Amino acid sequence: MADYDYDLFTIGAGSGGVRASRMSASYGARVGVAEERYLGGTCVNVGCIPKKLFSYGGHYAHDFEDAAAYGWRVQEPGLDWPTLIANKNKEIERLNGIYRNILNNNNVDIHEARAVLKDAHTLDVGGKTVTADKILVATGGWPSVPDFPGNEHVITSNEAFFLEELPKRVLIVGGGYIAVEFAGILHGYGSQVTQLYRGDLFLRGFDQDLRTHLAEQMTKQGVDLRFNTNVTSVEKNGEVLAATLTDGSKIEADVILYATGREPNTRNLGLEEAGVDVSDKGVIPVDEKFRTNVPNIYALGDIIDRYQLTPVAIAEAMALAANLFDGKDFRMDYGDIATAVFSNPNIGTVGLTEEQAREQYGDIDIYRSTFRPLKHTLTGRGEQSLMKLIVDKLSDRVVGVHMVGPDAGEIIQGFAVALKAGATKAQFDATVGIHPTAAEEFVTMREPVSG
């Protein structure tokens, strides 16, 4: 390995790339990393972190209204949108600095430039030739917008985090978690929001009850949900955007946000020149140790298209670094990965959906509870929470836990440990709940609603 500049060179300093780089260096490897945009990748800069901050802010409108029921008298609230953007930017800059310090403190060389493969061991990094024994590609994903007349007038989630002012009317196109989250965020801040999705119901792949329940709650709040609908073209008339829909109708908006998917950020990286197989969609196939078809080139995170989640990329990176430089033989366990959607209300989910469980186990019990959160018994707000357990009858093992409601992600995290440990419904029943909390509902549901 002494013939090369580095033992490992990483392309991309997002969550996965940074973790793989610093852990490899901690095991004694000589490591370099190239990043052409910003340290921390999508999650830190235009993803998880700013999205969660925006989500917090979007809830305050309800909180101001609800406070009156608890005896608080507050003046009519006002919004200073630029303050939100400035404070968010300040926090992201702080996190960028933390990532820089992490790499520097672990003696990882940072190259703030684009890296392009020349062959299996050689890269052009900002015009400089660099060689490495092993190369890791961890360049993440990038928002994609379909081709249609006027698509140059729309924005993606990348730009949504930097809007100079809050738009009065927003059209959101898409049915994934990004579209659903921004619908809740912008509606919470006071925008008039219309969300379109080309399918029957958004959040494809999630449990059907969760999808249906969230749609009902969002409609109650005033979000205009339109399913089986898409945009055929967009025209710009002064400052107003006019979208023509598939039914021939038109809708005007100040901003049109497209959240119709993300694609692997693998174009023009020299992968083909290095002999790395890449699918038509830009996905890099890898084996269980994250090796591409070129033995010394590895890939992980969003570009291998397994689970597009930051903690998954970090776990993959930990396994890779330990295998390469600490003599381990780890495999990534993709079972029972919990996730949250920071919609309004939130979704938290782990394990199998009802549809998946029926297919896998056949004979299952479903426990489901819908109720008004205690907080709203005073406010009168009509919001309803949903909790659901899915149990394999033969083993009594709980194979799915799902929730729609406040703090769903926080609640589901603990139950994810239980599923990972193979907890049974009898063990759930034997657990004494914390009263009064929403979470106790998961250990007090006794009668199945269906089998």
Active site residues per annotation? 435
Question: Would you state the structure tokens that stand for residue 7, as one six-digit string?
Answer: 């033992």
The residue with tokens 């994250």 is 290
Contact 51, 346 (CB under 8 A): no
Cα four-point dihedral sign 334, 335, 336, 341: positive
The residue with tokens 């009065």 is 168
Calpha distance 187→337 (Å, rounded)? 29
Cα four-point dihedral sign 190, 194, 195, 200: positive
Q: What is the CA radius of gyration of the chain?
A: 24
Comparing C-alpha atoms, which of 180, 184, 236 is closest to residue 211? 180
Helix (H) or strand (E) holding 391: strand 385-392
DSSP letters along 118-131, please? EETTEEEETTEEEE
Which residues in 6-127 belong to E strands, given as ranges? Answer: 6-11, 31-34, 109-111, 115-119, 122-125
The residue with tokens 């670094």 is 321
Angle between helices 48-58 and 177-189 (to 10 degrees): 40
Comparing C-alpha atoms, which of 373, 374, 333, 337 is closest to residue 352? 337
Calpha distance 419→398 (Å, rounded)? 7
Residue type, 442: F
How many other CB atoms are found less than 10 A from the CB of residue 90?
9
Q: Please, what is the end-to-end C-alpha distance for the chain in angstroms?
A: 59
Peptide bond into 285 cis (omega under 30): no
Residue type, 343: S
